[in-house]
Amino acid sequence: MEPIGLYLHIPYCLHKCGYCDFNSHNLNEEEMESYVAALLREMEYYAGDSAPGRNVATIFFGGGTPTTLPAPVLAGILASCRRHFAVAADAEITCEVNPATIHCDELKTLRAGGFNRLSIGVQSFDPDELSLLERVHSIEEIHLTVDRARQAGFDNLSLDLMFALPGQTLKKWHDNLEKAIAKQPNHLSAYNLTIESGTAFHKLQERGKLVMPPDDFQLELFKSTRKKLAHAGYRQYEISNYCKPGFESRHNLGYWEFRDYLGLGAGASSCLDGVRFKNHNLPARYIREVTAHHTAVEFEERPDARQAMGEALMLGLRLRRGVDLPRLEKKLGISLQDEFGEVVARLQAQQWLTLEGGRLALTEQGLYLADSVILEFISEPVT
């Protein structure tokens, strides 16, 4: 059986940023001890019930802000992962880090505890942009976190950046990229800011108090990002992700390659053996459910093979190398030609898709229309 990825969600943040639509909640120190106990209880249940015999290839602590928990607690949770699951000796073990919530000794504790990769939520090297995004860290804290992470022994660092911010110029974005490159991370994520329904930014946008850059300028920023990072030796391997050779996010590759994963914690999603399920979002509800029933599943479903293939294509086409069709067809027991042959032929004729060597991928032109192309595979068939 293929190894799985293990995701652990720590939902707490010092402050919920206006653009954020993740399952994050303001810090509740009184609740955190109960939350960790519930997380460990849920872990123990799944280790004995749903994932025995499945090796774990990657572990990812995300949020929220995992580093709102003390580093020894995070190391203890990781130790429990190793006790309950067959974690590969070369497993990639990532922790998301907010520069405002981590210090030198804590970084050393994480490294000694077995974490070997950090994903640092920089977002911007511009103080005005950090203020706009409601980030609570400073530029100085970014530099200190990166430098101290290396001193602590981390040699696999990823920096997250955001572009297409209201009022952002091409020069400002290039300055951000240059400052990020100067820190010499192994991996960079460059996310196009999108305004999601229900966020504080969305409410501001509806009132006309937040104006996004025009679409053509957002595309210009994306194209310039690709060019600038390629020149600095970073290969684009996914729409928003770039790395030095050999430093892809192995955990996220698991999602994009449609591999199984188990999510633990409030709001965490899982996909095991064709079944998708998701936990309750609210930490208090999650704690109550796990305490009473060992799990906190809000819903589960088993998509049919066509739906699963559409979702696999939606994820896999984000990768520059595209989708491994023989593997996918074997896993789902159906063929691309039978289910989506007409769609693929049309998109190939428009030169948005290429099919070579068993891989279906976006062309250079298709990359700039990725959202529209991907939607073709998840729309309901006309009957």
Please report, for the domain that includes residue 27, its CATH number.
Answer: 3.20.20.70
Q: For residue 252, is it within any domain?
A: yes
Q: For residue 58, is it within any domain?
A: yes
Assigned token pair, 226: 């690709």
246 and 329: one domain?
Answer: no
Q: Which of 213, 236, 256 is the last residue of a domain?
A: 256
213 and 337: one domain?
Answer: no
Q: Which of 233, 256, 279 is the last residue of a domain?
A: 256
Q: For residue 271, is it within any domain?
A: no
Q: For residue 310, is it within any domain?
A: no
188 and 332: one domain?
Answer: no
158 and 245: one domain?
Answer: yes
- CA torsion 173-240-226-184 (nearest 10°) is 70
251 and 332: one domain?
Answer: no
186 and 327: one domain?
Answer: no
pTM for the whole structure: 0.96
Contact 307, 334 (CB under 8 A): no
β pairing state of 86-97 and 117-123: parallel
Q: Which of 256, 275, 292 is the last residue of a domain?
A: 256
- Ranges of beta strands (E only) in 64-127 are 86-97, 117-123
Domain count, the chain: 2
Preceding omega of 357 cis (within 30 degrees of 0): no
- CA torsion 178-92-277-66 (nearest 10°) is -60
> Looking at residue 382, what is its pLDDT?
46
Contact 106, 68 (CB under 8 A): no
Q: For residue 108, is it within any domain?
A: yes
* Alpha-carbon gap, residue 282 to 89, rounded angstroms: 34
* Alpha-carbon gap, residue 260 to 163, rounded angstroms: 31
> Looking at residue 378, what is its pLDDT?
86
Q: For residue 206, is it within any domain?
A: yes
251 and 352: one domain?
Answer: no
Contact 25, 64 (CB under 8 A): yes
- Most distant pair of Cα atoms in the chain: their distance: 61
Cβ-proximal residues to 89 (8 Å cutoff; 6+ apart), any chain: none
pLDDT along the chain (383 residues), means of 10: 95 92 92 98 86 83 96 98 96 96 94 99 97 94 97 98 97 98 99 95 94 97 98 99 99 98 98 97 98 96 96 98 98 97 97 97 97 87 48
Contact 97, 119 (CB under 8 A): yes
128 and 25: one domain?
Answer: yes
236 and 362: one domain?
Answer: no
Q: For residue 70, is it within any domain?
A: yes
27 and 128: one domain?
Answer: yes
Domain of 339, in residue numbers: 323-378
Q: For residue 251, is it within any domain?
A: yes
* Alpha-carbon gap, residue 126 to 41, rounded angstroms: 42
Phi first, then psi, for residue 124 (nearest 5°) are -160, 150
> Looking at residue 48, what is its pLDDT?
78
